[in-house]
Amino acid sequence: HVSGLIPGKEATYTVTLVPSGPQIKIWRTLDKPTTPLSFAANTLPDTLFVEGYDFGQPKLEMQLKNAAGTIVAKDEVKLVHPTKAYLV
């Protein structure tokens, strides 16, 4: 759920997940099917499963974009090797 958006306008925003590289995998369910990395703000899943592997400090950036595709907010999660995170 994305808070702070104008009520009724949530569908005009998208949330895009941007992994720092191929060492981060993202799934909607534990059986690990392919998951799209962009969602309408009003359809963002309540839970996403994130797995980071390999050496280094992989990062996952979450971008909130308006209807024009402009990034209006973003946040970043750093994963420590090996990591399994549950974004809720």
46 compared with 9, residue with greater pLDDT: 46
Structural contact between residues 68 and 52, judged by C-beta atoms closer than 8 angstroms: no
Residue 50 and residue 18 in contact, taking contact as beta carbons nearer than 8 Å: no
| pLDDT value for 22 | 78
Of the pLDDT bands very low, low, confident and very high (cuts 50, 70, 90), residue 63 is very high
Q: How confident is the model at residue 70 (pLDDT cuts 50, 70, 90)?
A: very high
pTM of the predicted protein model: 0.71
Residue 53: which residues within 8 A CB-CB, separation 6 or more? 23, 25, 81, 82, 83
56 vs 69: CA distance, rounded Å:
30
Q: Given the structure tokens 């308006």, which residue do they identify?
A: 66
Query: With 60 as the cut, is the pLDDT of residue 79 above it?
Result: yes
CB 62 within 8 A of CB 72: no
